[in-house]
Amino acid sequence: MTLYGYRVPMMASLLVWCLIWEIVGQSGLMFLVPPLSSVLMAGVTMVQTETWQSAALVTLHSFAVGMALAITVGITLGVLMGRFKAVDELFSIWVNIFVSAPLSALVPVLMILFGMGETTVIVTVFLFAVWIIVLDTRAGIQHVPNSLIEMGRCYGASPFALYGKIVLLAALPEILAGIRLGLVRGVKGVVIGQLLVAIIGYGELFELYSRSFDMENFWALTIILFAAAMLMSAAVEAVEKKVDYYAGVR
């Protein structure tokens, strides 16, 4: 972007909003919005506390387990749906319902099924992330050119080699896009799961700070969460860029 002939650096818009936040905070118009500088300072102190560290660990653990499940199940189901019409017809209605359904509404039901503990949070992460991974994997598999599969068969690929060496790699750009979108949804899932059900980890801290109107810590917590989600998504995107050339020449 250029403004009055000057090239504006990429993060400039972010700086503008940070500045506005600081001004609004300093003016003391809304007690909900403390100045950004004090939020950042609160953040630095917060990450050093044991409360935050253990909360982050609990959260990270639920998130990692839920995502690992979502990626495994999502890719498997997506491959099956992409390759076999019967599986596709059997599952596509559910995948399409769940991918757009307000899953938060289901979380209390999950609590009844899985109890008040970490299991519910893991299931929530899984349910938030898995559907988009299924859909994207399925699309990727359907885009694998038939001739590549015929090539594998011609040159004697076993079914295992056909999937491991050809089909999954050919669908990799779409699968990665699915994982990236799934990660972002999974972050939502972990917080919603912890907030609504099991008051543990990050959810517990959110609950604590918002109840006591400790806005500095509340916003610091939010910023750390957003930054983590964005970093993960950017990391996957970087890998995606590396395999981008596939799509054109497959």
| Residues in touch with another protein (CB under 8 A) | 145, 147-148, 150-158, 161, 165-166, 169-170, 172, 243, 245-246, 248-250
Provide the minimum distance between the beta carbon of 144 and another protein in the complex, in angstroms, as a whole number: 11
Assess contact for 59 and 199: CB atoms under 8 A: no
Residue 24, class by beta-carbon neighbours within 10 Å (0-12 exposed, 13-18 middle, 19+ buried)?
middle
Are the C-beta atoms of residues 78 and 138 closer than 8 Å to each other?
Answer: yes
Nearer to another protein, 53 or 158 (CB): 158
AA identity, residue 12:
A
Q: Judged by CB, which is closer to another protein: 67, or 144?
A: 144
Inter-axis angle of helices 36-46 and 12-27, nearest 10: 100
Minimum Å gap between C-beta 83 and another protein is 16
In the complex with another protein, which residue's Cβ is closer, 18 or 149?
149
SS3 136: helix
CB of 74 to another protein, least distance (A): 21
CB of 159 to another protein, least distance (A): 12
| Nearest alpha carbon to residue 63 among 161, 200, 172, 238 | 200
The C-alpha atoms of residue 229 and residue 237 are separated, in whole angstroms, by: 12
Residue type, 126: F
Least distance from C-beta 169 to another protein, angstroms? 5
Given the complex with another protein, which of 64 and 157 has the nearer CB atom?
Answer: 157
Residue number, 2 or 146, with CB nearest to another protein: 146
